[in-house]
Amino acid sequence: MSTRHENKPAASAEAPDGGRCAVATGSAYRGSDGAMTCALCDTEMDWEDCSACGGDGFFDGYEEDPNWYQPGEEVPCSQCGGRGGDYWCVTDKCPTITCTRVLKQNDPGQPRAKPVAL
């Protein structure tokens, strides 16, 4: 049985069933100006510092537990994983809430997504 979407690439932003493609959801790319851009809706994303580490991405382990860590030993933040924060999609209807992966441009191994109207 064929569908009208059988020739559509698997990495497009719209899946054959009409839903959003999981590859594009959560993905972002760096635009020509260096800004992080949502791969699903093609909108510039905003950065928000991590509330646990204040945007540092780490904390001084010795201050938290001097019995386990040495003075000056930095430990990655458990909330942001050492990133210091997250990129958030500002489009209300976009299913991408935070950026979970960055697509490299001109990389043939990475899927390509087309922006969709939300």
Q: How far apart are CA 45 and CA 86, in angstroms?
A: 10
Domain locations in the chain as residue ranges:
1-44+90-112, 48-85
Map residue 3 onto helix, strand or coil. coil
Report which of 43, 41, 42, 55 is spatially closest to residue 86, judged by C-alpha positions. 55
Query: For residue range 61-89, what is the model confidence (pLDDT) as tens digits?
Result: 999 899 999 998 999 999 999 999 999 99
Check: CB of residue 55 under 8 Å from CB of residue 84: yes
Query: For residue range 41-61, what is the model confidence (pLDDT) as tens digits?
Result: 888 999 999 999 999 999 999
Whole-prediction pTM: 0.60
Q: How far apart are CA 51 and CA 79, in angstroms?
A: 8
